[in-house]
Amino acid sequence: MTGWTVRRRRRPDAAASLYCFPHAGGLPGEYLRWSDELPEVQVWGVHLPGRTTRRAEPPYTRMDELVDALVSAVDFGRDRPFAFFGHSLGALVAFEVAKELRARGREVPGRLLVSSCPAPPLPPAARPVHGLPDDELLEAIERGTGESLAHLREDAGLREHALASFRADYALLDRYRPRRAEPLGCPLTVLAGSEEPWAAWRDGWAAHTRAGTELRVVPGGHFHFRERKADVLCVLRDSVPTTKGDRGWTA
């Protein structure tokens, strides 16, 4: 693997791999903690440039460039079945990576799990978020996620680095225009918090696959995986392919 993927513990005998694509401003370490409770799965976190140990690298602000670089660098599923999990912005990145893998004739994930994200195409933002002044950007993120970012207002150094990641990630989102493509051949799981506006999400994502779409709603809001970790881990155990017959395919 490369600097694009990180893991908490090595599991050479794992039955499957799960690649986790973080939310806007998110870090892979939060998702890697799941490995402690998923002993049959090799959990990987997708590590984007511009943060933590990759802070010196310029972040990507356009989806097609990010996806091209990521697919070129990472050999997904080289030795075992694999699935993608993406939360919020990460769901869109995971979706586009799956499409690009298929376009290159490579194996696609056995399942795509998209969390807390409506299906593309997304309605255009009335005002691009990534260009807002610092205080307005923080307020916009808080409104959208329901999470307080008071700790960033209190720590200037932390705020500077965090806002750089947020701006890059929201630029990806503001500029995202999905390319037309045939529906994927892998099944989708749509995961949502009960307090989110999830009612139309399943039908929207169903248009992007020929292999079926399920909706799983767990108690909580946008960051349900923090509030109800056990429920989300249950969804993952049900969804990650662990046998050869469940492997993804290239069609």
For the annotated catalytic residues, the residue numbers are 88, 222
Residue 40's closest CA among 76, 11, 80? 11
Residue 30's alpha-carbon distances to 20, 46, 72, 238, in angstroms, are 10, 11, 25, 21
Tokens of 153: 């207002």
CB-count burial class (<10 Å; 0-12, 13-18, 19+) for 215: middle
Residue 111's alpha-carbon distances to 77, 120, 185, in angstroms, are 12, 18, 9
Type of residue found at 81: P
Residue 66's closest CA among 199, 172, 150? 172
